[in-house]
Amino acid sequence: MLKVVDGWYPDAALAIEFDGRVKYRQARYGRTPEDELWREKRIEDVLRSFGVRFVRVVHADLGPSRRADLDALVRRHLAIPGPRHREFDEVARSEGYWRGADGGDDGWLARTHDEVG
C-alpha cells in the first residue's frame, strides 16, 4: 500500500486530502516534519504519474467564504474522467479509520455540508 487518502472519487481518480498543520510541526513516527512533507510529496508524485489527481483541503476551505470555491474545484476535477487503464489498485474502506487515540474525526467526510474542524 502506497497511501491512504481521506476521500476518493474512483471514476475521476481524484483523491481528497484534508491537511492540518500538526504533522508538519511535530516529529511523528520517527520522522521530522521536513521528512514527512518530503515523503508525502514523493508518494504523491508517484501517484500523479499514474493519473491520480489530488485536491488538498484545509479547515479554512470549509468556511462559508471558501466553500463554493472548493465545491467548484472538486466539480471541475470530477468532470474529467480518470485514466481508462489503471496501473494501480484501489482498496475501498467501508469507513475511515482512527489515526490516533483521541477519538476525533476519522478523516475527510464525504458529506460536503459537514463541519470538519
Per-residue burial over 97-115, b = 16 or more CB atoms within 10 Å of its CB, e = otherwise: eeeeeeeeeebbbeeeeee
Please give the residue that has the higher pLDDT: either 27 or 54: 54
Cα 37 → chain centroid? 14
Rounded to whole angstroms, the Cα distance separating 99 from 116 reads 15
| pLDDT of 80 over the 70 cut | yes
Grid cell of 22 as nine digits: 500538526
pLDDT band at 97 (very low <50, low <70, confident <90, very high): low
| pLDDT of 89 over the 50 cut | yes
Provide the whole-model pTM.
0.73
